[in-house]
């Protein structure tokens, strides 16, 4: 059974807050924000794959530190999975010898510390029975969400997104859907900022979840709806956002995602 542990899920830092990073079993990261920094050396050495939703710093900041920490000890490269557009951005603006060394070129192009694997929307990568599929989302930079399939159930992680019909068309095809991790970065009072930055606020979240159809459920599933968890809450706004979501009439269990939370699939 696959295990997902939330290393970070905040829209900012400070105190116990960590930015977005999710650990799948012991060897796969989904995004690599500041939560990665809490892992032990042994845990860092076990990371073989990183799936990135998009290029924003709160989702990729600890990739350079992770590779720099383990590169002299590992014998195989870490594989970075992302769309070609995201890989191009990271190569041009992060791993460019100005901000950080190009780990895709050292010690050599033939044997790098960091290997790139371009993925396409709808493509499924299978790693030891775990399946990870890129889902469409809408953000200010090229972005994807991910469907993670374990032995018995599926989890959808949207990454950063705004209104996106294509996402729900894809989600509505998923059987055994048990969990949805979806962002809501701003309160309703900041809906204009949410719109321009292509994030969700409670008002748009409720509208988006209304696109989820009950027909996605397998007849053998005992639950009628998936459990919904809210991520990327901006520091200082979490209570307001969750209260505004709670005031809506959603037919789902909706909770704030917590650092350290574990899901079994």
pLDDT tens series, the chain, 265 aa: 899 999 999 999 999 999 999 999 999 999 999 999 999 999 999 999 999 999 999 999 999 999 999 999 999 999 999 999 999 999 999 999 999 999 999 999 999 999 999 999 999 999 998 999 999 999 999 999 999 999 889 999 999 999 999 999 999 999 889 999 999 999 999 999 999 999 999 999 999 999 998 544 444 554 457 999 999 999 999 999 999 999 988 877 899 999 999 999 9
| Count of domains for the chain | 1
Nearest to 163 by CA among 132, 206, 127: 206
What pLDDT is recorded for position 225?
Answer: 79
pLDDT computed for residue 216 by the predictor:
44
pLDDT at 249: 81
Describe the chain by its helix, strand, coil percentages, rounded to 5.
25, 30, 45
CB-CB contact of 21 with 99 (8 Å):
no
Asked if 117 and 104 count as a contact pair (C-beta separation under 8 A), the reply is no
**pTM of the full structure:** 0.94
Residue-range definition of the domain harbouring residue 153: 3-264
Structure confidence at residue 214 (pLDDT): 58
pLDDT of residue 252: 78
User: pLDDT value at position 232?
Assistant: 97
What per-residue confidence (pLDDT) applies to 219?
47
Residue 250: its pLDDT value, please?
83
The region that residue 77 occupies, defined by phi over 0 for left and psi between -120 and 50 for alpha, beta otherwise, is: beta
> For residue 129, which of 220, 265, 262 has the smallest C-alpha distance?
265
In DSSP notation, 46-103 reads T--EEE-S---HHHHTHHHHHHHHHTTT-SSPEEEEEEHHHHHHHHHHTSSSSSS--T
CATH number of the domain encompassing residue 136 = 3.60.15.10
* Predicted pLDDT of residue 218: 47
């Amino acid at each position: 059974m696959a295990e997902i542990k939330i290393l970070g899920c905040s829209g900012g830092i400070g105190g116990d807050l960590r930015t977005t990073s999710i650990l799948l079993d012991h060897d796969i990261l989904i995004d690599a924000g500041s939560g990665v920094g809490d892992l032990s050396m042994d845990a860092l050495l076990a990371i073989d794959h990183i799936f990135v939703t998009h290029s924003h710093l709160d989702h990729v900041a600890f990739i350079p530190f992770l590779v720099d920490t383990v590169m002299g000890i590992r014998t195989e490269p870490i594989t970075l999975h992302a769309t070609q557009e995201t890989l191009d951005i990271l190569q041009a603006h992060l791993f460019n010898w100005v901000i950080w060394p190009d780990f895709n070129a050292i010690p050599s192009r033939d044997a790098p510390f960091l290997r790139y694997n371009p993925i396409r929307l709808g493509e499924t990568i299978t790693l030891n029975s775990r399946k990870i599929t890129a889902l469409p989302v809408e953000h200010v930079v090229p972005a994807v969400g991910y469907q993670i399939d374990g032995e018995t159930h599926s989890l959808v992680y949207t990454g950063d997104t705004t209104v996106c019909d294509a996402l729900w068309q894809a989600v509505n095809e998923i059987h055994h859907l048990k969990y949805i991790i979806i962002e809501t970065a701003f309160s309703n009072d900041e809906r204009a900022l949410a719109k321009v930055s292509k994030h969700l606020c409670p008002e748009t979240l409720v509208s988006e979840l209304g696109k989820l159809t009950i027909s996605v459920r397998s007849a053998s599933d005992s639950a009628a709806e998936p459990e919904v968890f809210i991520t990327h809450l901006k520091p200082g706004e979490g209570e307001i956002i969750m209260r505004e979501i709670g005031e809506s009439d959603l037919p789902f269990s909706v909770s704030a995602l917590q650092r350290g939370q574990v899901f079994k699939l």
